[in-house]
Amino acid sequence: MQKESLPTRGFFIKERFSFCPGNQVFSLIFFMVGILLIVRLGQGATRLDRYYAHVAREDAFGVIAPWYPGQNGQIDERIRIAAEVMKRYPWVDTSKAVMAAPDFVYNSHWKIEPDGTIVIPPTNDWMCGDLSQRAWSIIKGLTAHYRYTGDPMAFVYIALTADYILDYGQTDAQHPWPEFPISTPTKGKAYGKCDPTGRNQLDLCAIIGTEILRAYKLTGNPRYLSAAKHWGNVFAAKCNFDPELPPWNRYVDPSVVGWSDELTGSTTLILEFLDDLIRMGHTGKDDIIVKARDAGRAYLTDQMLPQWLVNDTWGRNYWDWDNPVMCGITSMCGDYILKNRAVFPNWKTDLRNILSLIFNRNSVDPQSHGEVYNGAWAFPESSTCCGTSLSYNQYTAAPTFIRFGVIADDEWAREIGRRMIIMATYDSQENGVVSDGLFGQTVATGEWSNLAHPWPLCQLMEVLAWMPEQFGPGRENHIMRTTSVVNSVIYDKGRIRYTTYDAPAETQDVLRLAFRPDTIRADSHPLEIRSDLKANGYTLKRLSNSDYIVTIRHDGYTNIEVTGDDPQEVVENENLKYHGKWNVEACEHARGGTIHTTSVIGDSMTVCFRGNQVRLIGRVDPAGGRADIYLDDVKQKTRIDCWNPAPRHQQVLYYNGGLGEEEHELKIVCQEKNPLSKGNNLYVDALQFSAATGMSEFGQGSGPMGVQRMIFGYPKRKDYFDSHGNAWRPATEFVIRSGYGSDSVEKSWWQDRRSMYIGNTNDEELFRYGVHGKEFQVNLTVGPGSYYVKLMFADTPLHWFLERDKDGHRVLHTVSAEINGVKVMREVNISEAAGGMFRAISFTFPDIEPQHGIINIRLQGNNDGEAILQALEVGPYDG
């Protein structure tokens, strides 16, 4: 082979070393490892036999696939398990707490036994410290869950959480931050009034503000709006308008902590809250809230985004330690930028770069085992936390990747998120036990209940919102995504009625239905089917299983009704079988004008049906009671609770999907009420079920199939365009085990140009940076097909006299490389191969087929030296 300047026309270059293995060789060199596996990077696993709680499943291309076979799909099943755990969570009464509520309102400390029994261990102040994060999970997650299911438990747990914060979780009027939320009450009694002298963290206070506003939109309680307006006024009054400084500190009182008080990328959480207030018409005196919001945006644009490679830019958000956490903040910042794309003109490249930093930043600790498994990225919370607890951050990152992928039409991001969330939902069992540890153990979820169920539920609702075709339940009816909050919904047979809090310009809702709509009305006005949604109307997309994706635009209208020929069936309440002292009560809001009620403990109702899904419909109100549930004579772990702060009709009391295609029996038995209810009343309206069949797709065979070009160590926010007009982005999809708590960018990236002159190339910028280390791997997400891989090098000793071995000789960059386990380079001296230092050389390997949806490239340094890599290109190989 011969040296040749880069880039060349076509896919391949002439190279000094020839080694182009055929596919038959690649297929021989793949091996599996067990639990005692990742001792060093070269032994990293591509596939494990199990992930978290379940045996691994893969699709036709070896990529991770759902373990759960039910028609409702794995995402819906995981949501149902999370919701049912919350419904059966133990309550505390006023003998222990300041108000009666489920224990998770006060405290994240829990333990769940192998049989599913939930135990609340003796706790301490610390376990109530995640109040803001719990409120986020509960309020955001259950608001979306109500829209999706019609289950009214949202109005119970959201109101209790919001009321606790307003009544017992604020500072007093004399505090420097008066009547302001207490986000982290680590000095407060776990079941009592929060102590304002703790680590009250402003970005987390803003989360509470956003969620209190969401609670207002759902419930209409005016005191929620009043409190949020006041908090916004305080934020604005405390804003620092110096453009070179953060607009807010990190803490209300930084003296209570022994670490940095500088606010980082989580500034976006404050901006999200202020934006919400502004959209609702509250801008403060002299528009001070708008000015504060704009100052925060300027800080993010001018100070934060230019430092996108700096670890602290996206760290230091979690309440309980001064940790350079990456995953949560990059996702939160990404969500904000996606909502405000017009404000951030470079949003596509910024988000692609920022979101993917978590791959190498969070996987540096060898003990975490963070890398790619069956095509899915998995990594811990940060470089210093949580061991092999990898599912939690898959839940955190995947929805943002998916949302970005959909909005930006970026198949790379969409596919990364799709695979990631499938793997994450391997963590839970039917009994509610969550194994978040990669090898099947409980790590964080064994102690922190928020990480086990409320947070996954919250995040999975986002996944369904943005990937309804791939993950929505088959042959069911659901509102998947809405611009505004849905504050009332009735899922009837062939008729879905819902209202939204408001309907601003470009309001769009996405539904997945088991039928084709005949009519859609907005405030009684008929909407027309359209080819686009440039105006009010709706579009239809028929799926392979006969479901429909329906997208509705209804600017200015808040009451929506969708009707059509629904395969669902209904058994009216008078045709159910009752045992005990049930009464028939006239009810104008019930389906048929009547409803069956009882308040006698032990009274029961039974009904038989044939189908794969079932919903019990009834009323909830302040006198509602509880009931045990039996399905096919098996007592369910969860329960029905008909208590609600206000009457609501035709609501979903219980639902289950993914049932076998056979005869089933549902039974409920009246039990004692919760501590807040005024009675034991059960209210039964109807039973809905369906035998319609048709599995959902889960995205098998997807993934980016075009050319991907990347420069290692490249620090800029905009892509580099080579002499042929091709775009090259910063390379971030690699793992280097630089050590517990280390910064992989600082340790292994050459972010500054090491030389201006690079020979053998027309595009010197491709070779001026790089990644270096004794050993590292690159994991490229691709779709099915055949690819070429081009590895691009230049030996550029910036300070060659410092880069010496123990004998004083210059350390040579002698590199060995494997692609998908096959050795393709063996101890290649880069400078010698290129004809000298500061000269470019590349090696191209054709006909590479991905393994488990990934092209894995491993590089290793030899002779006490480090491996290097300057740039990489992968693209379709056409022979």
The 8 Å CB, 24+ separation contacts for 499-503 are 499/558, 499/559, 499/560, 500/558, 500/560, 501/217, 501/218, 501/558, 502/558, 503/554, 503/555, 503/556, 503/557, 503/558
25 confidence band (pLDDT: 50, 70, 90): very low
Q: Taking residues 116-133, what's their average pLDDT?
A: 92
Average pLDDT over the chain, rounded to whole?
A: 92
pLDDT at position 24 over 70: no
Residue 797: what pLDDT?
84
Q: How far apart are CA 683 and CA 668, in angstroms?
A: 11
DSSP states of 725-766 as a string? S-EEEEE--EE----TT--HHHHHEE-S-S-S--BSBS-GGG
Q: How far apart are CA 201 and CA 277, in angstroms?
A: 20
pLDDT digits (tens, 9 = 90+) for 653-678: 999 999 999 999 999 999 999 999 99
- Contacts of 342 by beta carbon, 8 Å cutoff, 6+ apart: none
Residue 323: what pLDDT?
76
809 confidence band (pLDDT: 50, 70, 90): low
pLDDT digits (tens, 9 = 90+) for 440-472: 999 999 999 999 999 999 999 999 999 999 999
High-pLDDT (> 90) share of the chain, %: 86
Least Cα distance to 742 among 205, 262, 177, 360 occurs for 360
Residue 2: what pLDDT?
30
258 confidence band (pLDDT: 50, 70, 90): confident
Least Cα distance to 833 among 812, 864, 848 occurs for 812
Burial (CB < 10 A; 0-12, 13-18, 19+), residue 758, is buried
Least Cα distance to 445 among 432, 458, 457 occurs for 432
| Dihedral class, residue 794 (left if φ above 0, else alpha if ψ from -120 to 50, else beta) | beta
- Whether 482 contacts 509, CB under 8 Å: yes
pLDDT digits (tens, 9 = 90+) for 359-395: 999 999 999 999 999 999 999 999 988 889 999 999 9
DSSP states of 612-626 as a string? SEEEEEEEEBTTB-E
pTM equals 0.94
Residue 325: what pLDDT?
74
Residue 805: what pLDDT?
60
Taking the CA atoms of residue 713, residue 716, residue 722 and residue 723 in that order, the dihedral angle to the nearest 10 degrees is: -130
490 confidence band (pLDDT: 50, 70, 90): very high
How does DSSP classify residue 366?
A: G
Burial (CB < 10 A; 0-12, 13-18, 19+), residue 32, is exposed
- Which SS3 state, helix, strand or coil, does residue 54 take? strand
3-state secondary structure 324-362: CCCHHHHHHHHHHHHHCHHHCCCHHHHHHHHHHHHHHHC
pLDDT at position 4 over 70: no
806 confidence band (pLDDT: 50, 70, 90): low
Phi, psi of 842 (to 5 degrees): -135, 155
Using alpha carbons, list the distances in angstroms from residue 176 to 164, 171, 547, 836: 22, 9, 56, 65
pLDDT at position 146 over 50: yes
Q: Taking residues 485-507, what's their average pLDDT?
A: 98
pLDDT at position 8 over 90: no
pLDDT at position 10 over 90: no
Q: Take residue 50 and report the two structure tokens written for it.
A: 């199990």
Q: Take residue 430 and report the two structure tokens written for it.
A: 């039917």
- Which SS3 state, helix, strand or coil, does residue 64 take? strand
How does DSSP classify residue 284?
A: -
pLDDT at position 99 over 50: yes
Q: Taking residues 15-40, what's their average pLDDT?
A: 31
Q: Take residue 413 and report the two structure tokens written for it.
A: 């991001």
pLDDT digits (tens, 9 = 90+) for 152-207: 999 999 999 999 999 999 999 999 999 999 999 988 889 999 999 999 999 999 99
- Contacts of 291 by beta carbon, 8 Å cutoff, 6+ apart: 236, 239, 241
pLDDT at position 569 over 80: yes
pLDDT at position 320 over 90: no
Q: Taking residues 602-619, what's their average pLDDT?
A: 98
High-pLDDT (> 70) share of the chain, %: 93
